[in-house]
A and B are shown apart, each in its own frame.
Chain A
């Protein structure tokens, strides 16, 4: 896939294959195109050239089918500040046609630990609390494919553990693609890793090591070689 903004190429021919059930972490320096890649995969924007399929559906022609299966946790919370957490979840739940919505809201809110503040307006919550509601929003429809764009931003260790618990609760067939700068966290969660440099995937495969320090050497080797 190729994606440019004006004359500025951001993705220069990304080739990516992810199996069902995989947890792929994509590492890359600033400006490598990680967020743009996730935005194309999330069907926010179309690639200028190339094609892609998610769960067998074409990302440009069958975007609605992909969206039905997709959950995104991004830098933005995608929440309305003047609505409560409950009202936000109810709105998104309706948009996703979530069956038995009330019980699903109760279940996901319990998982993110926000029962006590569910009816408080989102604008009055702390950054971490908003992020928890944002995770509940992303998971309200039990997505089978989850995109995480640097999810550790604004989340403490407890919240990250909560997030991985929710991902596990989606079942073994759920697929996760995560972008991050945090090598330790990204390596710990993934079974597959990718390195994106200047808009190209320069490495993808099973994680070569469990040791963050050793992986850092591999990572910087690829970054320097393709910079």
Chain B
């Protein structure tokens, strides 16, 4: 089956789904290294005071700095960011995962949350008490 987009490397692509592979890991290294370092509260404080200085220290590419300045999550992913590390930056910026979802999908926050809640499903089995719901 042919990939649906970006056939340059013959890689399989999944619509709307970045696959973080070696190519992304290489191009995104500086951005992800900065975000990984945000495990330190001291560095998080430094970033809040002077984000340009922290981005300089970690040698972010201009594309990565621009994405961070614009708080543009999709651009951060495009620049090689990995969501597990970006989640630490998102915390500093005050975004929870629903806000991240809304920002990336172009949905209003309430609509994004409503779409999750729309599944509204709980299925329980329990033979320990024989009270299966």
A and B associate in one complex = no
| B positions within 8 Å CB-CB of A | none
Mark A residues whose CB is within 8 Å of B: none
